[in-house]
Structure 1
């Protein structure tokens, strides 16, 4: 199993809306590195859901329920989506500030490549964020 983090601006697509929908395809990725990360996702992988711009915190855990396919919002075959489903809301959202101040997490992709919208996490990084959100 692999672990990931995806970012969404809550005014565009929030964790709350994701939970109401029950499943979504993760579209709008227009960065090649983020696209390659989508292509690397496998069914069953776990995904942190991060509210960017407003809030700036990890709010929940999702899982990959369908591996990559052509992004239905564009005819450009360079872009793909995966289907995600919500798994669990974190009891306490984990802020970017908390992550930056945690010695164990200070070098994760969210800190090093802040503009990247889809990024891998190591299992121990994923577990640490869950621990902080409990």
Structure 2
């Protein structure tokens, strides 16, 4: 099995790295993905054990805030069936779910590697998250970018 790497965005008000670390087993269901390309990454490419850069988005200081791993197989996202959820999808049904999730296990909180630092680092210029118009909540990360971030920027 080849380990792959991902950047997964979460709004800290919904699930921060601290929330994920405090969860039982430090594992949280990655709910609310409502973009087909991001869903397809989870469904078709992610594997249990893949590395995750935990990224806070839609906040004062967006950026990488922790390391995690994909911790479960794919399953239907229950929020799509809940009319009280902001992620409710009336066109989805339990027998034909549109939206999926995986559990993500937080491994450690890191220093913030903010968007300005990411943009200012020439070695990371090709990261998907830095490309103009990229707004996906889940993006692949190359092994070279993963290694650079974890070793050079975080010193792991």
Which category describes the TM-score, using the shorter chain as reference length?
A: over 0.9
Aligned with 2:39: secondary structure?
Answer: helix
The residue aligned with 2:38 is 34
> RMSD in angstroms over aligned alpha carbons?
1.2
Distance, in Å, in 1 between the alignment partners of 2:143 and 2:119 is 18
Gapped regions of structure 1 (runs ≥ 5): none
| Structure (1 or 2) with the larger CA radius of gyration | 2
Determine if contact 1:93/1:133 at 8 Å carries over to the other structure. Answer: no
Higher strand share: 1
The residue aligned with 2:11 is 9
Number of residue pairs aligned between Structure 1 and Structure 2:
133
Q: How does 1:1-134 map to 2 (within 5 A)?
A: 1-21=3-23, 22-39=26-43, 40-54=45-59, 55-75=61-81, 76=92, 77-90=97-110, 92-112=111-131, 113-130=133-150, 131-134=152-155
Gapped regions of structure 2 (runs ≥ 5): 82-91
Deviation at 1:86, TM superposition (A): 0.9
- Give the ranges of 4+ consecutive aligned residues of structure 1 lying more than 6 Å apart after TM superposition: none
Aligned with 2:102: secondary structure?
Answer: strand
Distance, in Å, in 2 between the alignment partners of 1:110 and 1:31 is 15
Aligned with 2:112: secondary structure?
Answer: strand
Distance, in Å, in 2 between the alignment partners of 1:120 and 1:58 is 14
Q: TM-score, normalised by structure 1?
A: 0.93
